Amino acid sequence: MWLLRLLGHRRMAEGDGDRSPLYVVAGLGNPGADYADHRHNVGFMTVNELAQRHHIAVTKRQKRSFTGAGVIGGRAVLLAQPQTGMNASGRSVQQLRAAFAVPPERTLVIFDDLDLPLGRVRMRARGSAGGHHGLESIIEVTGASDYPRIRVGIGRPASRDDVIDYVLAPFHRDEREAADDAVRRAADAVEQWLAEGIEAAMSAANAGSEQRPRAPVQTVRQRTDEGDHGAADHT
């Protein structure tokens, strides 16, 4: 299997006889080109950013996800974009974890957060779903809550009645720079988590320091697939 070959090559390169542990990075979102630019898809956007940086093709269809395997921060990693629809993300994450025997603490989840201001990034080692239906599905289906997670702030609409339309819409032009920078910083946090561990990554990601904007993130149009394109109410 392609992934087992990757792990085997890492064992040989490291010169030890132990199986190299696999890490999973699951960015949540809704599948299909129509949803690619939506606020609700910042998890997918972060996986796309990581894939671009590390030359990983997230194109293999398995376990209800599009996936790509590579090495980031010296760790064997599987990047995943569940294709079940946001509100059923747990079905894909459960199957990926079971297929590759990956525990929750080595499964990082990335998703949008209405309760964080636009552009803010927060990382935690574990916790509740906080009202996010994608993470809620993962916790419910897998029976575990100790997933490292990165929340990418998208802010709230003026009216609570507009939440679904808000998350299922693209960022406005004047929001794009802050959103792109947040995606890059979320990707930075993933890299640090893999290279240095959760404590170092949380410390850096949660510091809240302002960073100079960089070039815009290039959007990768998502492959069309069937799924339940649910919007998280976050309440």
Residues with catalytic roles:
40
Pairing of strands 22-27, 75-82: parallel
Backbone φ and ψ of 80, nearest 5°? -135, 140
Pairing of strands 22-27, 60-62: unpaired
Pairing of strands 75-82, 60-62: unpaired
Helix (H, G, I), strand (E, B) or coil at 114: coil
Q: How far apart are the C-alpha atoms of 231 and 184, rounded to whole Å?
A: 23
Burial 43-56 (b: 16+ CB within 10 A, else e): bbbbbbbbbeebeb
DSSP-assigned beta bridge partners for residue 156: none
Of the candidates 45, 42, 1, 50, the one whose C-alpha atom is nearest the C-alpha of residue 24 is: 50
| Interacting residues of 176 by C-beta distance below 8 A, sequence separation 6+ | 216
Q: How far apart are the C-alpha atoms of 141 and 29, rounded to whole Å?
A: 17
Do 65 and 50 contact (CB within 8 A), yes or no? no
